[in-house]
Amino acid sequence: MNITFDNVSFKYIEKPILDKASFSITDTDKVGVVGVNGTGKTTLLKLILGLEKPKSGDIIISGGMRINYLEQDPKFDESKSLIDIVMEKSTKEFPILEYEANSILTKLGFVDTSITTKGFSGGQRKRLALAKSLVTPADMIILDEPTNHLDNDVISWLEKYLIKSKKGLLMVTHDRYFLQRVCNKMMELDFGKIYLYDANYDNFLDLKAKRLEDEAHEKQKLKTFLKQEQDWMNRGVEARRTKSKSRIQKFEELSKIKFNESKTFELSSVNTYLGKKLIELKNGSKAYGDNHLFNNFSFILNRSDIIGIVGENGCGKTTLFKILMGLEKLDSGELILGETLNIGYFSQNIELIDPEIRVIDYIEDEKAIIDTLDGTITAQALLEKFLFSREVQYTKVKMLSGGEKRRLQLVKTLIKNPNILLFDEPTNDLDLYTLEILEDYLLNFNGPILVVSHDRYFLDKICNKLFIFENGKINESILSFSEYLEEKEKEIKAPKEEAKSYKNVNKFPPKLRNELNKLEEEIPNLEAKAKDLSNELKQSSTDFHKLMELQDELSNLEKELDEKTNRYFELVEIKESYEK
C-alpha cells in the first residue's frame, strides 16, 4: 500500500507550503517528518488525510489503506466515557478487543476508563487521542507530536510499541532519540520541497549536510555565471547585437531563478546583576490532600546550575516552579529568595496566549522598546530578527503554528532580560533548528537554569544535575538523564533476571504461555458478562432484592476481572522480557 504525491502544490493565501512536491511511502515505512516551524508539517499530514486539498497535483492512496491520525489539539464528545471513545471505531470486520483498549489506556495513565473527558487538560486529551490511534485497526498511523505531554516511562513504552508495530508510521516529532530509534526514513520540508532520505535520524543529518554543501556549490556556480553574463549584458546595445540571441534568452531565464536563502536567528538577552544569594529551600514540604509531592526537601541554587527536573506527570514539577515564583506556598519549610532575582518563566501552556491578540501587541504589551546586546530596538524590529515578518506581526496569534507560538513565547521571556530561568517543557512543538539555538543559548546563559522536560536528548545535552521526583520525594543526582534511565531500567530488570536465572532465557515457559492464552479467552467473556449484568441492573431498578443480588454479583465479577487483567499485564511483561 502506498501514499504518493505527484507534483503537489499548496499554499495558504500567499504563503507557499508545497511546490510541486513528489514522493512515495509504503505501509512498511516508519517515517519521521522534520522542518522549520511554519514550513507546513501539519499541513502535509492534513493533505494526506484529505482535510486539506492541493492547489495542483495528485495525492494517491492505493490499496484501500486505512489511516489513523493523532492531531495536535483533539476534541471529544464529553458525554462519552474514555473506553467508549477508544472503542467507537470497532467493527465486526476489524474489532477492537476491550481488554486491549483498557491496557493501552492504562499504559497512558488512565486508571478509571469509565470517566468522561469533561474538564480534561490539553495533555489528557492528547493522550486519549494517542490511545485511540494506536488501538484502532489501521495500516498506517500518522502522529503529530506524539511525545508531548507524556512522561518518560510512557515515552519509553511508546517507543518500544512503535518499534515492534507492523503498521506503517508517519510522524512529526522534535524528540531526536525517538526519531533515531523508531524511524527508518526521514522526510524534510524545506522551502516548499520535500526530501525523502532512506536513513535514520543520525544518518539523515550527514546526508542533509552533504545535500546543502552540494546545493551551495551549485548556487555559487550559478551566481558566478550570472555575474559574468550581467557584465556582458552591460557592455552596451551595439556589443550585444553581435552576440547570440540564445545567450541573451538564457540569461533572462536564469535571472528569474530565486535563491532560497535560509534565514537564521539567535537567542540573546542582556545580562542583569545577580547577587550572591539566589534561591535556598530549607526542609520544604508540599502536598494536596493525601498526595505528597515532596517532603523535607532542601537545596541551595548555585550560579552554574542547569538542573533538569524529571518525574511522572502530576508529581509536582510545575508546582515546584510556582512555589519558587511565589505563586504557591509551602506547607512547611522555608524559601529564601535573593533580592536581585529577575526570574524568566517559560510556561508549557500556550493556551495562556490570547489567540485573538496580534503578534506585535503580545510583545509590545510587555515592552515596546527592548534592551539587547546591540543596544535598544523596537518590538517590531526584534520580531523580525526572530523570523516574524512584518506581515505576520500584524496577524492574530491563532494564525501561527504551534512551534511559532512557542518561539513567540521565547521572545517574550527573554526581553525581560532575566538572570534566572525556569523553563517548563520548553521543547514542546519547537523544530529541531530552533531547539539547537535554544540549547546553545542555555549553555551560554550567565545564571542558573531549572528546566522541566521529558526530552532525553535535550536534558543530556544541557543539564549538569537532576532533581528526580519519586515516591513523594525529590532526589538529587549528578548522572546524565540517559544514565539515570539506564540505572532505573537495571533496577526493574534485576528481579526478573534473577527469577529467570534457572530457566531457559530464550523460551517463554509453556505453563505461563498457557495461562496467558487462557486469560486472553476469559477476559473478553468476563467483560461481556459484566456488560450484561450492568444492563440487567438498569432494568431491575424497582426490585430492591434483585438489585442487591445483581450488584453483589457484578462487584464480585469486576473484582475477578481486575485480578485477571492485572495478571494478564504481568504475563505480557514477562513474555516481552523473554523476547529481549
> How far, in whole angstroms, is CA 198 from its chain's centroid?
23
- Mean pLDDT lowest for which of 182-196, 301-315, 502-516? 502-516
pLDDT above 70 (res 63): yes
Q: What is the pLDDT of residues 195-254, one digit of tens each?
A: 999 999 999 989 988 888 887 777 777 777 667 766 766 666 555 555 566 766 766 666
Mean pLDDT, rounded, for 337-350: 89
The residue length of the chain stands at: 580
Report the pLDDT value the prediction gives residue 10, as an integer from 0 to 100: 94
pLDDT above 70 (res 385): yes
- Rounded Cα–Cα distance for residues 303 and 419 (Å): 10
> Do 434 and 442 touch, CB atoms closer than 8 A?
no
Residues of 168-196 as b/e, b for ≥16 C-beta within 10 angstroms? bbbbbbbbbbbbbebbebbbbbbebebbe
Report the pLDDT value the prediction gives residue 72, as an integer from 0 to 100: 79
pLDDT above 80 (res 350): no
- Rounded Cα–Cα distance for residues 268 and 562 (Å): 54
- Mean pLDDT lowest for which of 262-271, 321-330, 337-346, 392-401? 262-271
CB atoms within 10 A of CB 108: 21
- pLDDT band with cut points at 50, 70 and 90 for residue 497: low
124: nearest Cα among 313, 311, 291: 313
Task: Tell me which of 81 and 151 has the higher pLDDT.
Answer: 81
Could you give the C-alpha distances from 317 to 300, 313, 463, in angstroms and in order? Answer: 17, 8, 16
- Rounded Cα–Cα distance for residues 393 and 389 (Å): 6
Strands 56-61 and 67-70: unpaired
pTM above 0.75, yes or no: no
Report the pLDDT value the prediction gives residue 290, as an integer from 0 to 100: 85
φ, ψ (nearest 5 deg) of residue 139: -100, -25
Q: What is the pLDDT of residues 76-98, one digit of tens each?
A: 999 999 999 999 998 889 888 88
545: helix, strand or coil: helix
As given in the structure block, the three cell numbers for residue 562 are 481486575
Going 428 to 263 to 179 to 463, the CA torsion angle's sign is: negative
Q: DSSP labels for 360-373?
A: HHHHHTT-SEEEET
Cell 539567535, residue? 266
- pLDDT band with cut points at 50, 70 and 90 for residue 516: confident
Half-sphere exposure for 226 (CA within 13 Å, toward CB): 14
> Do 390 and 380 touch, CB atoms closer than 8 A?
yes
User: What are the contacts of 435-442 at 24+ separation with CB within 8 A?
Assistant: 435/174, 437/265, 437/266, 437/267, 438/267, 438/410, 440/266, 440/267, 441/266, 441/267, 441/268, 442/306
Q: What is the pLDDT of residues 103-115, one digit of tens each?
A: 899 888 888 899 9
Terminus-to-terminus CA distance in the chain, angstroms? 30
- pLDDT band with cut points at 50, 70 and 90 for residue 495: low
461: nearest Cα among 431, 433, 424, 436: 436
Q: What is the pLDDT of residues 543-562, one digit of tens each?
A: 667 777 777 787 788 778 87
Percentage of residues in the chain with pLDDT exceeding 90? 43
Report, in this order, helix, strand and coil percent for the chain, each rounded to 5: 45, 20, 35
Encode 377-435 in three state secondary structure. EEHHHHHHHCCCCHHHHCCEHHHCCHHHHHHHHHHHHHCCCCCEEEEECCCCCCCHHHH
pLDDT above 70 (res 506): no
Report the pLDDT value the prediction gives residue 541, as an integer from 0 to 100: 58
100: helix, strand or coil: helix
- Rounded Cα–Cα distance for residues 169 and 25 (Å): 10
Report the pLDDT value the prediction gives residue 14, as an integer from 0 to 100: 67
pLDDT above 50 (res 502): no
- Rounded Cα–Cα distance for residues 318 and 424 (Å): 7
Q: What is the pLDDT of residues 22-47, one digit of tens each?
A: 999 999 999 999 988 888 899 999 99
67: nearest Cα among 42, 50, 44: 50
Write the CB contacts of 498 (distance below 8 Å, at least 6 apart in sequence): none
314: nearest Cα among 531, 89, 469, 427: 469
Mean pLDDT, rounded, for 460-480: 93
- Rounded Cα–Cα distance for residues 290 and 279 (Å): 28
pLDDT above 70 (res 333): yes
